[in-house]
Amino acid sequence: MSDYLPEEVVLEILHRVPVKSLIRFRCVSKSWNSLITNPNFINSHLTQSLSLSPNSNKLIVRHCTSRPNIEHYKLFHDNNDSSFEQIQQLEFPLTTRRIHHFMLVGYVNGLFSFHEQDRFILWNPSVRKFITLPKPRISAKTHGHVSTHLALGFDPKTNDYKVVSLAFPCSSHRLPEIPMVEVYSLSQGSWRITNAGDSFPPWTSFNNYLVPEASLNGAVHFAAHHGNTLSPLVLSFDLGDEAFRVISVPNGAFSGRDDVHTSVLGGLLSLLCHDAHKDTVNKRCSIWVMKEYGVVDSWTKLFTVDLNGEIVRVLGLRKNGHILVHTNVPGDWELSSYDPVSQQVKKLGICGRQYYFCVDNYMENLVLLDKPNDVVSRRGRKRKCRVTADKERDKERVRMLQEVRCMLQKTIQHEEKFRHLQESMLHQEKILLPVQEPVQHQQETILQQDMEEMLKSGLKEADTVKSRLLVLIQQLSGQAEHTFSGAADQSSTQVKQRSSFVGQEM
| 83: enclosing H helix or E strand | none
- pLDDT for position 410: 61
Stretch among 10-19, 101-110, 172-181 having the lowest mean pLDDT: 172-181
CA distances from 274 to 71, 95, 270, 307, 311 (A): 26, 32, 13, 8, 11
Stretch among 155-164, 280-289, 460-469 having the lowest mean pLDDT: 460-469
> What is the tens place of the pLDDT at every residue in 321-343?
999 998 987 777 999 999 999 98
- pLDDT for position 79: 82
| 107: enclosing H helix or E strand | strand 103-108
Does the residue 59 lie in any domain?
Answer: no
Residues 6+ apart with CB under 8 A from 453: none
Phi, psi (deg, nearest 5) at residue 278: -65, -25
Residue type, 354: Q
Residues 6+ apart with CB under 8 A from 85: 76, 77
| Domain that residue 26 falls in | 7-49
How many domains is the chain built from?
2
- pLDDT for position 100: 86
User: What residues are paired with 320 via a beta bridge?
Assistant: none
> What is the tens place of the pLDDT at every residue in 182-205?
999 999 999 999 999 999 998 888
Does the residue 496 lie in any domain?
Answer: yes
What count of residues does the chain have?
Answer: 506
- pLDDT for position 495: 40
Of the candidates 219, 259, 240, 489, which has an alpha carbon nearest to the alpha carbon of residue 354?
259
How large is the average pLDDT for residues 18-32? 90
Under the banding of pLDDT at 50, 70 and 90, the label for residue 382 is: very low
How far does the chain reach from its first CA to its final CA, in angstroms?
A: 74
Of the two residues 441 and 227, the one the predictor is more confident about is 227
Does the residue 241 lie in any domain?
Answer: no
Look at residue 501 and give its three-state secondary structure. Answer: helix
| 506: enclosing H helix or E strand | none
Stretch among 1-5, 83-87, 218-222 having the lowest mean pLDDT: 1-5
Does the residue 213 lie in any domain?
Answer: no
- pLDDT for position 335: 94
User: What residues are paired with 165 via a beta bridge?
Assistant: 150, 182
Of the two residues 32 and 209, the one the predictor is more confident about is 32
Under the banding of pLDDT at 50, 70 and 90, the label for residue 257 is: confident
Is the CB of residue 401 less than 8 Å from the CB of residue 91? no
Is the CB of residue 262 less than 8 Å from the CB of residue 249? no
Does the residue 128 lie in any domain?
Answer: no
Does the residue 79 lie in any domain?
Answer: no
Is the CB of residue 324 less than 8 Å from the CB of residue 317? yes
105 vs 114: CA distance, rounded Å = 5
pLDDT at 221 over 90: yes
Does the residue 395 lie in any domain?
Answer: yes
463 vs 458: CA distance, rounded Å = 9
Under the banding of pLDDT at 50, 70 and 90, the label for residue 437 is: low
CA distances from 318 to 205, 266, 398, 434 (A): 31, 9, 67, 119
CB-hemisphere CA count at 13 Å for 185? 12
Query: pLDDT above 90 covers what percent of the chain?
Result: 43
Does the residue 451 lie in any domain?
Answer: yes
Residues 6+ apart with CB under 8 A from 180: 138, 143, 146, 166, 167, 168, 169, 193, 197
Of the two residues 223 and 67, the one the predictor is more confident about is 223
424 vs 421: CA distance, rounded Å = 5
pLDDT at 491 over 50: no
How large is the average pLDDT for residues 339-365? 91
Average pLDDT along the chain: 79
